[in-house]
Chain A
């Protein structure tokens, strides 16, 4: 199975900060990577697919980059509604696998 490792596992940031979350795959996955946002007691929300393509309706302050094994999710200016847990997921190979999550908390 492909292991997905996110870093950091948690971070504290202030409104307006630029935030970057890293995701590393244990083997190359081309650009077959998605990012999700999950708030407590809610379903995940799709943010990005194909490593860098924003889902419809997702604010442009979110961006994704990378290919192969190393990927990043960037929030250019953190907003109050962005405090949540973020997951990466590879869909290059079965089984689909997720990173362990990165919790973004208020500083």
Chain B
């Protein structure tokens, strides 16, 4: 059974940093593109970033370029999202998802709240 479990969310002050993790199981992690998608409270879905199987290609939405970094550790079956210079508008549930185009499996998400 495919499982994606996010962790690392929490309350952080504007300008602060956070590192999100996604633990994958039930499939060959190193064979798949992976993505992060976020959802602000009461709003729709927003694609954030994705990463190729070997980490050699990464893509980001403009609003996070230079602030967020996606990475992966295939030996640990884990996906990461480093969030720096956080802003109030980054407050959202962050979902990890399998796939770099359409996403066929999603984790339950981790909430990031940016507030003073």
Contacts and interface: CB of A to CB of B under 8 A. Distances in A.
Interface of A: 32, 34, 36, 38, 42-46, 49-50, 55, 87, 89, 91, 94-101
Contacts of B108: 42-43
Nearest to B45: A98
Contacts of A55: 104
A23 to B, nearest CB: 13
B11 to A, nearest CB: 19
Contacts, number: 55
B101 interface: yes
A71 B19 CA distance: 37
Interface string B53-73: 000000111100000000000
Contacts of A45: 106
A97 B106 contact: no
A44 B45 contact: yes
Q: Is the interface of A mostly helix, strand, loop or mixed?
A: loop
Contact of A100 (B44, B95, B102): B44
B79 to A, nearest CB: 15
A99 B50 CA distance: 19
A98 B59 CA distance: 16
26 contacts: A34-B102, A43-B108, A43-B109, A44-B37, A44-B45, A44-B106, A46-B102, A46-B105, A49-B104, A55-B104, A87-B44, A89-B45, A89-B47, A89-B102, A91-B102, A94-B59, A95-B47, A95-B59, A95-B60, A95-B61, A95-B62, A97-B47, A98-B44, A98-B47, A100-B44, A101-B44
